[in-house]
Amino acid sequence: MPTPTLDSIELETGESPTHSIIWLHGLGADGHDFEPIVRELHLPANLAIRFIFPHAPVRPITLNGGMPMRGWYDLKSLELDRSSQDPEGVRDSSENVLAIVRQEMERGIAAENIIVAGFSQGGAIALFTALTGPVKLGGVMGLSTYLPMMADDFAQKNNGFSDIPFFLAHGEFDDVVQYKYALMSREAIMQAGFKPQWHSYKVAHGLNAEEVRDISTWLQGVIQNP
């Protein structure tokens, strides 16, 4: 397992954290993007959690004319078919996330107490990492996202950790990651034997207050009732 190479922001909600949440931002953003959500979740004061917000590497993004920006992988089109995928970039970013997972385990956090979450591109990496990685995580959260490389016989390549808690959420009016891709991803995940908790909201490509409340409820359930 490689040493973590991603710069990250860390916020702890208490001394001696018992859980870690690795939260991945979307294309063009950075680790600061979801910092405010720690406060917005209104988690109980007795939960000691280390939130980790990595910065994605800067890379040229084909969809944006090759402009360099922070991204977990290259994106060629918003039509997320097989030809628009970047398997190498997805796998590289997944390995970087797994390096953070291993780092947290070395810091004393059990694998089953590590949750990987992500929004949009970050969510794609979170899903891919939880479903194909060698470590059974405590949970995975995919927000306004999709499962990358669905067409690549995914169901035959999953890691078999079918009881990992899942939280999948998507805006019905999302014009960046179309709603149909979220439904296709949910179906692929279910076909692979997993049982995701599904939520949809009357929003576009983003989160609203209802979703934040649902995330908080799910997190508390996963952490307090493993």
pLDDT of the chain, 226 residues: tens digit per residue: 445 679 999 999 999 999 999 999 999 999 999 999 999 999 999 999 999 999 999 999 999 999 999 999 999 988 876 667 898 999 999 999 999 999 999 999 999 999 999 999 999 999 999 988 899 999 999 999 999 876 454 544 566 688 999 999 999 999 999 999 999 999 988 988 889 999 999 999 999 999 999 999 999 999 988 6
What lies within 8 Å, CB to CB, of 130 at 6+ separation is 116, 137, 140, 161, 164, 166
Asked, for residue 26, whether it belongs to a domain, the answer is yes
20 is a catalytic site residue: no
What is the extent of the structural domain holding 29?
A: 8-224
Asked, for residue 81, whether it belongs to a domain, the answer is yes
Asked, for residue 106, whether it belongs to a domain, the answer is yes
Output the domain CATH number for residue 16: 3.40.50.1820
Asked, for residue 170, whether it belongs to a domain, the answer is yes
Asked, for residue 2, whether it belongs to a domain, the answer is no
Asked, for residue 108, whether it belongs to a domain, the answer is yes
Q: What's the total number of domains in the chain?
A: 1
152 is a catalytic site residue: no
174 is a catalytic site residue: yes
Asked, for residue 67, whether it belongs to a domain, the answer is yes
Catalytic entry in 94, 120, 144, 185: 120
* pTM for this entry: 0.94
> E-strand spans in the chain?
8-12, 19-24, 49-54, 58-61, 67-70, 114-119, 139-143, 166-171, 197-201
Asked, for residue 1, whether it belongs to a domain, the answer is no
Catalytic entry in 199, 200, 205, 214: 205
Mode of pairing for the β-strands spanning 49-54 and 8-12: antiparallel
Catalytic entry in 30, 33, 86, 174: 174
The Cα 129–Cα 86 span in angstroms is 15
